[in-house]
């Protein structure tokens, strides 16, 4: 019952801040203005990340069950959100952002003492141990998830919609095992705060007058918190969940990170360089409306999370889970490649030419 209360508190605090901070955003210039690859209408306040963080943090801090790892996560998240706000206002260089992400990841891993030491039996030949690579792998994994969600945040509802489903998956996984009260509490608070944010960001014409973006402060927060909670759940003295189960909670961000990084490296560009070739850009070019893309991302993630929870609770072998995840990647890539044909089966209102709002 206390988890439901915490989620409700996070929802109410976030929703209130989304309204209260709007005039502040206008006063200080914390706005996302259209132009270039940004096609929205009007100047949109970029306060979602601040509201989500404060809503979740205040709810967690006033609820019993927040341990040392949780406190360390909130402290390092504060630094990341602060960096994100500055970036949203002044557009920091990619190198500065990366250094901030690295610092936060190092502090989290060092302060909590948590590391990914085993990847599990991914290929059926025995568990893969990272050994001396455990610490650097864990730090890099945290940074990767931060940037994966950042890449996802390019269209209304995508990052928030995928994240809220992923955190519901964390709650479902953690509740099935003993020893992970922090993950349960913090994930519940994130679900509550994100639900409030989506009222102002989900793609619908009804919230146009209060449309709000989360900005880099929000997208980096989502990836970092998810990484921190996942890190706690794979510890042998905590929930001890197989790492491959975590992959299934956030399939699209991982696919996006892998394909975007590979594409940019092959083009001899920086992996952090922005472009217009993300999955949502390709779906839009094929004729999908923003609403259709949101529904696609949300539904795909929901189904993947359901498979993860069911498989982990029934003891499906890690090699089967990993093979299935690779097959899921192939399925997703095939869907994106065939999007120009799939568009003909969508309702007219979900096609870009019939979209009456942005």
Classify 133 as helix, strand or coil: helix
Predicted local distance difference test score (pLDDT) of residue 355: 53
Task: Return the residue matching tokens 């003295």.
Answer: 237
> In sequence order, which ranges of the chain are alpha helices (DSSP H)?
2-20, 22-28, 48-61, 68-90, 94-112, 134-152, 158-175, 181-199, 215-233, 243-247, 251-266, 279-285, 290-314, 318-337, 339-342
Task: Return the residue matching tokens 């942005």.
Answer: 358
Rounded CA separation 323/115 (Å)? 24
Give the chain's residues under pLDDT 50: 35-36, 356-358
User: Could you tell me which of 109, 47, 111 has the C-alpha nearest to residue 81?
Assistant: 47
In which element (H, E) is residue 357 found?
none
The answer to whether 54 and 14 are in contact (CB under 8 A) is: yes
**End-to-end CA distance of the chain, in Å?**
39
Predicted local distance difference test score (pLDDT) of residue 178: 58
Predicted local distance difference test score (pLDDT) of residue 356: 47
Predicted local distance difference test score (pLDDT) of residue 35: 47
Predicted local distance difference test score (pLDDT) of residue 179: 59
Spans of all domains in the chain? 2-354
Rounded CA separation 215/221 (Å)? 10
Rounded CA separation 279/151 (Å)? 10
Rounded CA separation 99/192 (Å)? 30
Predicted local distance difference test score (pLDDT) of residue 113: 87
User: Could you tell me which of 196, 210, 202 has the C-alpha nearest to residue 56?
Assistant: 196
Token readout for 124 is 């059926």
């Amino acid at each position: 019952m206390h988890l439901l209360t915490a989620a409700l508190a996070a929802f109410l605090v976030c929703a209130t801040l989304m309204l209260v901070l709007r005039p502040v955003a206008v006063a200080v210039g914390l706005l996302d203005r259209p132009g270039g690859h940004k096609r929205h209408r009007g100047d949109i306040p970029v306060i979602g990340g601040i509201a989500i963080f404060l809503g979740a943090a205040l709810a967690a801090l006033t609820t019993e069950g927040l341990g040392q790892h949780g406190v360390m996560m909130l402290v390092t998240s504060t630094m990341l959100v602060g960096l994100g706000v500055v970036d949203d206002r002044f557009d920091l260089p990619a190198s500065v952002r990366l250094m901030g992400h690295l610092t936060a990841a190092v502090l989290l891993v060092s302060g909590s003492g948590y590391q990914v030491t085993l990847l599990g039996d991914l290929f059926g030949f025995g568990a893969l141990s990272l050994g001396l690579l455990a610490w650097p792998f864990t730090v890099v994994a945290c940074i990767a998830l931060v940037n994966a969600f950042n890449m996802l945040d390019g269209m209304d509802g995508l990052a928030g919609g995928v994240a809220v489903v992923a955190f519901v998956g964390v709650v479902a996984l953690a509740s099935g095992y003993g020893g992970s009260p922090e993950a349960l509490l913090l994930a519940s608070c994130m679900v509550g705060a994100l639900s409030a944010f989506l009222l102002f960001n989900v793609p619908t014409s009804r919230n146009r007058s209060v449309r709000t973006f989360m900005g880099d402060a929000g997208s980096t927060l989502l990836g970092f918190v998810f990484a921190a909670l996942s890190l706690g759940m794979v510890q042998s003295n905590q929930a001890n969940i197989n790492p491959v189960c975590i992959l299934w909670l956030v399939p699209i961000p991982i696919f996006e990170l892998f394909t975007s990084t590979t594409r940019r490296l092959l083009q001899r560009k920086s992996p952090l360089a922005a472009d217009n070739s993300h999955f949502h850009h390709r779906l839009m070019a094929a004729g999908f409306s923003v609403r259709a893309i949101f529904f696609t991302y949300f539904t795909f993630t929901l189904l993947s999370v359901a498979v993860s929870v069911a498989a982990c609770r029934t003891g499906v072998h890690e090699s089967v889970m990993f093979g299935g995840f690779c097959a899921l990647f192939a399925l997703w890539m095939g869907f994106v490649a065939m999007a120009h044909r799939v568009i003909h089966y969508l309702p007219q209102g979900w096609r870009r030419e019939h979209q009456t709002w942005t």
